[in-house]
Structure 1
């Protein structure tokens, strides 16, 4: 009885939240995201963490796993926001 409701909810979340957010992250590019992580680490007064995080992102982009990282990050971020909402 609830199949239609669950399917509609899945479509709304997929088409209205997950795909647009993934498009935004892809449009930003790895350089700007790595720079934001670097600046965020320095803002927290953790320069070693900032450099290590930025270097890790650059390494992930260099070996070709950037798209898979964005998909994983997107799903984790959406799941975290949904759990905070609940």
Structure 2
């Protein structure tokens, strides 16, 4: 499936390339097909326990993420203390907020 790229002006009377933003256009049939396949695949993967819903919550219908990922934020921010020095390595996954 291929998409057609189109540039949309961000401002009136846009002249420079950095005043446009690109979007990709797909045909309607392709969007319907992808939507059906995604919902069927999600249903199959969750019913057959291929997805651990205690870890993966985003994008799964009927699974609420709530505030749980934000509860782990302090642990994520402090990260892991390096045993050889006095600094912390910070790992932050913003996609889980």
Q: Relative to total residues, which structure has the larger helix share, 1 or 2?
A: 1
Query: Over alpha carbons, which structure has the higher Rg?
Result: 2
With the length of structure 1 as denominator, give the TM-score of the two structures: 0.29
Q: Relative to total residues, which structure has the larger strand share, 1 or 2?
A: 2
- Say which structure, 1 or 2, has more relative contact order (CA 8 Å, 6+ apart): 1
With the length of structure 2 as denominator, give the TM-score of the two structures: 0.27
